[in-house]
Structure 1
Amino acid sequence: MSVPFDPCAPGHLRAHPTLLFAALVIVVLATADLLFACSFWYALYRVPPMRILQNIAAGLLGKRAFLGSGTIALGALLHYVIMSVMVSVYYLASRRVDALVEQPWLYGCLYGVGLFVVMNLIVVPLSAVPKTPVPTSWVASSIVVHVIIGLVIALSLRRAG
């Protein structure tokens, strides 16, 4: 006779706080990043927040993402998935390289710079997003935000460790 799966069994309880903590970090970081992007683009260029989310969806859909409001939810979903990948990659790397957890200030900042480079020199150019000039102020502030994201990821993992 097989024993039914019990998520509250002693062996399963240890994973739950870590997973919940990781989910909280992902939601907080992704939401803060979206708030920053929406505030930046609206304050300087009067770009409405829905347009930011459509721009994220344009990574998959190209110019079609701007044809209706249905792509706003897709953009939000993609943003949270991307942040989940960012957190997961650092977590998985930290399982093999102790220094990532032992020196979160250094490696978190470096990871943030790496995130900026990967997103802006690999992911965005390979995506279907329409190519437009990007203001220097956005590049500079985006680097700072990515460094903060990397740092929060590293410090969060150290705390969760």
Structure 2
Amino acid sequence: MKAKGGAVFLAGLVAGTMDLVAAITFYSFILTKLHPTKILRSIASGIFKKEAYTGGPEMVFYGLGLHYFIAFTFAWFYFTIYPNFPFLKKNAFLSGAIYGLFAWSIMNLIVLPIAFPQLPNKHLDFPLLISILIIITCIGFPIAFIAKKFYSFR
């Protein structure tokens, strides 16, 4: 991949898709807590609030779009900081794990509390650990490995 924009797009697309598939697999099929459309409506509710749950099917697509926007933003940010932090270049696996923790922290400690002030407190339990592992595996790793591959040709 020659263009940085293309590499960022690929990283965001892969990360966003992996994260969504993992979330749907875990929350819809393993825990059987949420229907896949409810997951996407929940994402849309960050902007549309209660209307995301009462609105039509377009809310599912808004949730999907917002999900990928977030994934592309995390990919763009990593590609932007990558050249300036030499430790990111040493080990893509470790860098991906650290970046996944960073992404999880940003989403769960900043973004979600702003979008949903009444969220219940988080407790260290199995679903929380799974959510962290999903973000590390599906967001951190693919973005780090795609960035390493892209920048190795520079």
TM class, shorter-chain normalised?
0.7 to 0.9
1-side partners of 2:82 and 2:135: how far apart?
A: 18
Q: Please tell me whether residue 49 in structure 1 is matched to residue 39 in structure 2.
A: no
Following the alignment from structure 1 to structure 2, what is the Cα–Cα distance between the partners of residues 14 and 106? 25
The percentage of counterpart residues that share the same residue type is 28
| Aligned twin of 2:73 | 85
Shift of 1:45: 2.7
Q: Which residue number corresponds to residue 8 of structure 1?
A: none
Query: Paired residues, what number?
Result: 147
Deviation at 1:14, TM superposition (A): 4.4
> TM-score with structure 2 length normalisation?
0.84
| Separation in 2, partners of 1:101, 1:138 | 31
How far did 1:139 drift? 1.1
Equivalent of residue 31 in structure 1, options 9, 14, 17: 17
Which residue, out of 115, 119, 125, partners 2:103? 115
1:100 Cα shift? Answer: 1.2
Question: What TM-score, normalized to structure 1?
Answer: 0.81
Task: Please provide the CA RMSD for this pair.
Answer: 2.1
Q: Which amino acid aligns with 2:76?
A: S
Counterparts of 2:109 and 2:94, CA distance in 1? 22
Displacement after TM superposition at 1:141 (Å)? 0.8
CA 38–134 in structure 1, closer or farther in 2 if over 3 Å, else same: farther
Which of the residues 75, 88, 92 maps onto 1:104? 92
Amino acid across the alignment from 1:138: P
Aligned residue for 2:49, secondary structure, equals helix
Structure 2 residue aligned with 1:60: 47
Counterpart check, 1:131 vs 2:131: no
Once the two structures are TM-superposed, the CA of residue 46 in structure 1 deviates from its matched residue by 4.4
Counterpart in 2 of 1:20? 6
Structure-2 separation of matches of 1:32 and 1:129: 28
Deviation at 1:28, TM superposition (A): 1.7
Once the two structures are TM-superposed, the CA of residue 95 in structure 1 deviates from its matched residue by: 2.1
